Structure 1
Amino acid sequence: MKYNGLLPTLPKELRLFISVFVIVLSVGYFTGLLFIQETESTTPAGVEENYLGNEDDEDAEVMKFKKGEREMLTVIHTHVLSMSLIFFLLGGLVWITKAPKKLKLFLTIEPFLSIILTFGGIYVMWSGVGWFRYVVVLSGILMTITYTGSACLVLWQCIPPRNPNKYSSKSVIN
């Protein structure tokens, strides 16, 4: 089955549907990043404070307490499941774009590694291995870069070609 380059050949209605899906998905993804910024968890120290608390810091503007095990498991469980589905769906769309196979492999496999490193890293850090806060931040940054790259690739290929004869004149789906 030929799937490389299938996306640009789909009928405009399907490409519009896919575009709207990726845009709405991106609104949700980047809103989550705004929430992370609001909790000041964009730095290694902020991540550590968010999950381990700051009760010992007398100068803290907002008092934060160490999260309990139940809360940690809930955060990790929900994020791993939901983000796996997000990247599975987006990855499926990436695979039908016209792009080099190695790029598509990176954009579709890396996010799953970052999910494990980010949320597994949060749990390891919470368990007492403080240096994992750096792993959490770096893997979160890489996850966002791959999300953005994947979403842009899919959206770019949903734009109708300037030369309508560039792709087959027959639509894959009528």
Structure 2
Amino acid sequence: MAYDGLLTKFPKEIKIFIAVFVVILSVGYFTGLLFINQTDSTSPAGIEENYLGNEADEDATVMKFKKGAREMLTIVHTHVLSMSFIFFLLGGLVWITKAPKKWKLFLTIEPFLSVVFTFGGIYLMWSGISWFKYVVIFSGILMTLTFIASATLVLWQCLKPQSP
């Protein structure tokens, strides 16, 4: 089946539809990153504090408590499901772009691994394996870079003039 570069051959209206979808998906993704920034979870100490609390810190300006088991399962469950759908849909669009197959394979498989490492890492850190906060940061950054690369590739090819 010839799917490589299929996106560039779509009618203008379908490419606009896909481009708008990717832009709105990106707004949602980056709004989530803004939320992470608001919770001070952009550093190893901030991630740990956000999930394990800071009750012992007498100098804390905002008191945070350790998340309960039910709350942690809800966070992991909802994020793994929603991020899986995000990367499945974006990955499907990546596969119909014109790009090297190895790049497409990386851009479509890596985010799923990062989802597991990010949210599994958060759960394991919460369970007591504190060094997983570094895995969470690394996989979260890699997931975001992969999202940016995939969205950019799809948008670029939606804006590209139609191939003959």
Deviation beyond 3 Å, 4+ runs, structure 1: none
Matches within 5 A, 1:81-92: 81-92=81-92
Find the counterpart in structure 2 of residue 120 from structure 1.
120
Whole-angstrom CA distance in 1 between matches of 2:134 and 2:49: 13
- Residue equivalent to 1:67: 67
Query: TM-score, normalised to structure 1's length?
Result: 0.93
**Partners of 2:134 and 2:44 in 1: CA distance:** 6
Q: Which 5+ residue runs of structure 1 have no aligned equivalent?
A: 169-174
How large is the Cα RMSD of the aligned pairs?
0.6
The answer as to 2:132 corresponding to 1:137 is no
Higher share in helix: 2
**Distance in 2, Cα, partners of 1:138 & 1:62:** 26
CA drift of 1:160 comes to 3.3
Partner of 1:39: 39
- Note the residue ranges of structure 2 that are not aligned, 5 or more in a row: none
Please give the TM-score of this superposition, normalised by the length of structure 2: 0.99
For the residue of structure 1 that corresponds to 2:99, the secondary structure is coil
Q: Which residue identity lines up with residue 129 of structure 1 in the other structure? A: I
In the TM superposition, 1:1-174 aligns within 5 A as 1-161=1-161, 167-168=163-164
How much has 1:22 moved relative to structure 2? Answer: 0.2
Q: Higher Cα Rg: structure 1 or 2? A: 1
Identical pairs, percent = 74
Corresponding residue SS for 1:61: coil
Q: Which amino acid is 1:106 matched to? A: F
Cα deviation per residue 1:70-118 (whole Å; 9 max; x = unaligned)?
Answer: 0000000000000000000000000000000010000000000000000
- Alignment deviations for residues 47-83 of structure 1 (CA, whole Å, 9 cap, x no partner): 0000000000011110000000000000000000000
Number of residue pairs matched by the alignment: 164
8 Å Cα contact 1:12/1:160 also seen in 2 = no
Q: For residues 121-148 of structure 1, what are the alpha-carbon distances to aligned partners after superposition, in whole Å with 9 as ceiling and x for unaligned?
A: 0000000000000000110000000000
**Amino acid of the residue matched to residue 55 of structure 2?**
E
